[in-house]
Structure 1
Amino acid sequence: MATATADNAPVPPAPARPATLLLLVRHGQTPTTGSVLPGRAPGLHLSDRGREQAERVAERLAGLRVDALYSSPMERAQETAAPTAARTGLAVTNEEGLLECDFGGWTGSAISDLAALPEWQTVQHSPSQFRFPDGESFPEMQARIVGAMERARDAHAGGVVVCFSHADPIKAAVAHALGTPLDLFQRIYISPGSVSAISYTDGQDPAVLMVNSTAEPLSGLRPE
């Protein structure tokens, strides 16, 4: 509703600020994707397939005006961000909040070995109750990436931000935006090189626009 000045001239309401769009990109495939829990161990790079996926992300972003790029410091995330940085001319900002979960003593273990442990059932069905040995808990991981997203949202209000991260943090971020309990976040699947999109509008709950998208162009998410 319009207000009025002292001389009763109507004052139009302030225009609504456009939504802030955050795109969450999982890094591309690596030589150990699906077989090993790499965690934060250094030295893991993209495979040939992963580099193709990184190029594809950059291609899909064509036509969408991107305001900022953020990435986990891990090599595989940085390498996934590189083609988008080259196409947009934007620098990639390292964001610790986008890091992979700290798997502690499980880092580097074969997933087939971990799946045989009784604790694996807790990881899959009651993750809110689990902390990795000498590592991070799932609630801590979720709070960390949600905090990073909120900082990016506030720093680029009304813009488009692309965040390059890892499967479990992205799943936890999507679950938070959906209002899904953390104990159900394993039901969300995030493929290598996929994009998930969350829109933030002042005074409203976040809107999840897409999850685990690997095909179509992304320009339609924000009409120019």
Structure 2
Amino acid sequence: MSVLIGLVRHGAHDDLGTWLSGRTRDIALNAAGRDQTAALSHRLAGRGIAAIATSPRRRTIETAAILGQGLGLTPVRDDALDEIDFGAWSGARFADLDGDPAWRHWNAARGTAPTPGGETMGAAVSRAMAHLDGLARQGGGPVLCVSHCDVIRGVIAHVLGLPLDNILRFDIDPASVSWVMAHGQGMAHVLTINGRE
């Protein structure tokens, strides 16, 4: 079986671009993020969305709740969609991380570089892909998976057969949706990336 999956990045928040939010900060959407997500919900109306799954972070839960309200669905939390565990980097300012050679190595070699006590990029992609495989086995109507920028980038790179080192070559904006068709057993194909439709 196959299923159409919309990979939705959470809406904007006040720490965006300043802090590595990770899993440590309880961050709410700001007004712009709520507006972005409401607009996305409006655009997705009538698309036959059957379910919404979300990362357990506050910013994704709020995004999923706005989508669910607009689409008449109750989101379900799933740890497979969680943000990357950045270990000791979690909650740090990007300005402080920029001087860290390990951080620079991580951004140049995502396929092999470790995080300090956290999760590898490969591990994050594996758990997210396992979730998509599970959805494909269930079949049914389109599903929205609300997650985080790098997790979505990693999934798209994996599906396209790109090395994870190349994930910074494309953007995944707040409240964007990237569509993939998942067929199970790690098989999928990308339909669109970073859409605002």
* TM-score (norm: length of structure 1): 0.83
Per-residue deviation at 1:121? 2.4
Gaps of 5+ in 1: 1-16, 217-224
**Structure 1 position 84 matched with structure 2 position 67:** yes
Identify the residue that residue 170 of structure 1 maps to in structure 2. Answer: 152
Identify the residue that residue 44 of structure 1 maps to in structure 2. Answer: 27
Identify the residue that residue 9 of structure 2 maps to in structure 1. Answer: 26
Task: Give yes or no for contact 1:28–1:51 (8 Å, CA) kept in 2.
Answer: yes
Aligned partners of 2:84, 2:35: CA distance in 1, in Å?
25
Aligned partners of 1:128, 1:30: CA distance in 2, in Å?
28
Aligned partners of 1:204, 1:31: CA distance in 2, in Å?
35
Aligned-partner SS, 1:46: coil
Letter in 1 for 2:181: S
Per-residue deviation at 1:200? 3.0
Letter in 1 for 2:160: L
Aligned partners of 2:85, 2:184: CA distance in 1, in Å?
32
Per-residue deviation at 1:204? 10
Aligned partners of 2:186, 2:147: CA distance in 1, in Å?
25
Per-residue deviation at 1:51? 0.6
Letter in 2 for 1:177: V
Letter in 1 for 2:124: M
Matched residue pairs, number? 197
Gaps of 5+ in 2: none
RMSD over equivalenced CA pairs, Å: 1.8
Which of residues 4, 8, 18 is equivalent to 1:35? 18
**Structure 1 position 116 matched with structure 2 position 99:** yes
Q: How does 1:148-163 map to 2 (within 5 A)?
A: 148-155=131-138, 157-163=139-145
Per-residue deviation at 1:123? 1.5
Aligned-partner SS, 2:20: coil
Aligned partners of 2:25, 2:136: CA distance in 1, in Å?
29
Aligned-partner SS, 2:95: helix
**Structure 1 position 179 matched with structure 2 position 161:** yes
Per-residue deviation at 1:159? 1.9
* TM-score (norm: length of structure 2): 0.94
Runs of 4+ in 1 over 4 A off after TM superposition: 201-205
Aligned-partner SS, 1:77: helix
